[in-house]
Amino acid sequence: MFYPEARARLGIDPGERLEQQLRQTLSAGSVSPKLAGMDAEAIVLDYYKVRLELDDRKLFQQLVDLLENQGKHNQVVVGERLAAIVERASPLSPASAVNALIECLNIFYEGRYTFVKRSWVQHQLGTYT
């Protein structure tokens, strides 16, 4: 959620290294063998990370096309759902960040685990709350 701000205000591209790695991997043609060795959850998480961090939409679309061509449509759908939750939540407070995390975890682990938020509790630890 900080990446657009870092790009606009600071002129820093925090996703630059990821973009370079993806561009190199795509141009070397080594994505397909890597995908073959990855489980579905790893593909979902990689998609989610790239979707949120990569600024180059054209490069991102190349990855999506490759995933679709490799039969990874379901992973793209789940990764997109997770990214949409984070973008929609725009977690600016601890409570909204936790809500987004729980929603993402419930989608990622759907049918296996269920996550719920407990009430907030504050403790005084020295000068910190």
| pLDDT tens digits, one per residue of 60-88 | 999 999 999 999 999 999 999 999 999 88
Average pLDDT of the segment spanning 105-129: 92
Long-range contacts of 59-67 (CB under 8 A, 24+ apart): 59/19, 59/22, 59/23, 59/26, 62/26, 63/22, 63/26, 63/31, 66/26, 66/31, 66/32, 66/35, 67/35, 67/43
